[in-house]
Structure 1
Amino acid sequence: MLQTVRAQLMSRPFLWLLFICNLLGSIYGFYWYADQLAATPWYWTFFVPDSPTSSSLFTLVVLLWLIGRSSPLLEMLAMVTNIKYGIWACGVIFTYGAADGSIEPQNWMLVVSHGAMAVEVILYNFAYKFDWRLLWVGAIWLLYNDFVDYVYRIHPYLQDDRFFADVMFWTPILSIATLLLTAVLRPKILRNKHV
């Protein structure tokens, strides 16, 4: 049963569907950030579109699989960033929704799309070839991004500043939890496979 599911996930038609969905989602994500990107000094713009950058990394991973290649570094970065920012967006939306008493339909779309980001990269854990020792690169990526986001206020726009302190506190904790989760998910595979 498990092998059948994995075979389906790695089938070319399904990978093409995954590639197209992630590509379109990434394009829409960059469009979503257009105003914030325009208002941000050019030297910080890389740090603004966290979610579309994450989904773009996974889009590249899927494209490499489609052409018979792989990149352990890209796989690791795609995994940690999609888990982190997928959960982050859902957490922020639910926090404001709980305080406001409702969640707008547009935000439910964001919950579904960002939740899917986190789920899909975990589903493909069996296919990755990265060694957990590469996680130091992911740690630098996530934690430096957190530093820039909340010291220089480059973080994604929040609905308002009511929960800024909470988001600033929990975001690096989420980064560390993501890295630990990824480390836990990788070792049993690496005993049988080498990068």
Structure 2
Amino acid sequence: MAFVYSILANKSFLWMLLIINIFGTVYGYYWYGYQLAETTAIFLPFVPDSPTATLFFVIALIGLILRRNTGLFEALALMTLFKYGIWAVAMNLLTLIVNGELHWTGYMLMASHAAMALQGLLYAPFFRIKKWHFAAAAIWTLHNEMIDYVYYQMPNYGDLMRYIQEIGYFTFWLSMASIAAAYYTAYRSSRMTYKL
């Protein structure tokens, strides 16, 4: 495992990952463009979930490269990358089950979002997350849940919208799992000595 972390800590690898995530973030906001154009201003920060998660990670990566403490963004990235990475994979698999087919972009989204979920967990040992960072990120994650499923600001997944209650229930427990995963990895990483 030390070999893997030595790669993750490599400055060239960090820069490559930063560039990939910047492009992914920009594309993600572009993908949400149609929905953002119709969104009430007060809800705008809570609609583009995945690109906002990667934006948090971009800030965390910049902090790692510059050796600056970005604990709040690290906590936000850790929770939201896992949550929305798994969520998008699950929604595309459900689309495949319901429709019997999936456009190639759905497979691309599954691969990219699975990578999202993984990268947050892999970098957890490098993060230095304080208790208030964790608490603030957990509040953000659950609050975003309410915005999505109380005010119906989630992405429109076409035929899947008839399962909106089940999706909302699944997403609530995914949020809880994301918070638990972040807590475990933050607690575990505080006992590790991986440095950049």
After TM superposition, the score normalised by the length of structure 2 is 0.92
CA contact (8 A) 1:61 1:74 kept: yes
CA shift for structure 1 position 192: 6.3
1:99-139 Cα shifts (integer Å, max 9, x gaps): 11122101111101111100011111111111356322122
The CA RMSD measured in Å over matched residues stands at 1.5
Q: In the aligned structure 2, how far is the partner of 1:186 from the partner of 1:45?
A: 29
Distance 1:137 1:162, change over 3 A: same
- Partner of residue 165, structure 1: 165
Runs of 4+ in 1 over 3 A off after TM superposition: 131-134
- Partner of residue 65, structure 1: 64
Distance 1:133 1:188, change over 3 A: farther
Q: In the aligned structure 2, how far is the partner of 1:191 from the partner of 1:24?
A: 33
CA shift for structure 1 position 162: 2.3
CA contact (8 A) 1:146 1:171 kept: yes
Instruction: Figure out how many residues of one structure are paired with residues of the other and give that number.
Output: 192
CA contact (8 A) 2:56 2:77 kept: yes
Unaligned runs of 5+ residues in structure 2 are none
Read off the aligned partner of 1:188 and give its amino acid letter. R
CA shift for structure 1 position 143: 0.9
- Partner of residue 130, structure 1: 129
SS at match of 1:109: helix
After TM superposition, the score normalised by the length of structure 1 is 0.93
Match status 1:186 vs 2:186:
yes
Q: Percent identity?
A: 34
Read off the aligned partner of 2:172 and give its amino acid letter. P
